[in-house]
Amino acid sequence: MTFPARLIPALAAISSAPLLLMAADPAKPIIEVLKQAPEQPAKAVEKTDEEWRKILTPEQYRILRQAGTERSNGPVYSEFKHQGGGTYFCAGCGTELFSSKEKFDSHCGWPSFYDPSKAKNIKTSTDYHLGYARTEVRCAVCDGHLGHVFTGEGYNTPTDKRYCINGTVLKFVPFPTETKAPAEGAPKKE
């Protein structure tokens, strides 16, 4: 089968085009998984708008820098629910924020923790974006918006607080013991 000559460049362009325009690679997690903890910033991280856009995905930028919210019960939440033990870091600056030790299933559709793992790395303020007062949660190091915290909702956790966090703006580092554990049924080395 032959194509008219004028179509050949177009066909070549299609076949060699990267898959950027197609759906995101399902094998690549949205919550980036790192092998080891990122270096912790020694001081506040400040960047220009342009610099933030360079290092963040558009969705991370929308959430961290424009106080956006990811879709509830979406692919991010599903990833989060299936993650094992580990530590969560800010996708903007790498600061440690949360740990699976304080993770709980609130059924709210967003990643939930009852406490930060490093309280000094979190700051809160009141926002009225929805017309009523909510306590906004930000990364204390890069000032990125993470989500909100709600108190006294009746959860059976040590604090009865729900840090309702956008998983899109977290990076996950699994606890070392879990990454080194041999797969079930793997032959034992003597």
Rounded Cα gap, residues 156 and 38, in angstroms: 32
Which residues are 172's β-sheet partners? 33, 88
Q: Which of 170, 144, 180 is nearest to 65 (CA)?
A: 144
* Tokens 């996950």 belong to residue: 172
Supply the minimum distance, in Å, between the C-beta of residue 190 and Zn ion: 46
161 by DSSP, 3-state: which? strand
By beta-carbon proximity to Zn ion, the closer residue of 57 and 179 is: 57
Number of residues that bind Zn ion (CB under 5 A): 8
93 binds Zn ion (CB under 5 A): yes
Of 93, 139, 142, 164, catalytic: 164
Is there a catalytic annotation at residue 139?
Answer: no
Q: Residue 190 carries which DSSP code?
A: -
User: What DSSP designation does 16 have?
Assistant: H
Q: How far is the CB of 41 from Zn ion (least distance, A)?
A: 8
Candidates 96, 65, 84, 63; CA nearest to 171 is 96
Q: Which is nearer to Zn ion, 93 or 170 (CB)?
A: 93
Nearer Cβ to Zn ion, position 17 or 37? 37
Nearest CA to 66 among 155, 138, 4? 138
Q: Please list every residue from 135 through 164 that binds Zn ion, using CB under 5 A.
A: 139, 141-142, 144
122 binds Zn ion (CB under 5 A): no
Least Å from the CB of residue 140 to Zn ion: 8
Query: 95 or 106: whose CB is closer to Zn ion?
Result: 95
Name the minimum Å distance from CB 17 to Zn ion: 35
Residue holding tokens 């606890």?
Answer: 175
Complete DSSP assignment for 76-90: HHHHHHH--SEEEEE
Among 47-55, 82-90, 128-136, 159-167, the segment contacting Zn ion (CB under 5 A): 82-90
Residues that bind Zn ion (CB under 5 A): 90, 92-93, 95, 139, 141-142, 144
Active site residues: 164
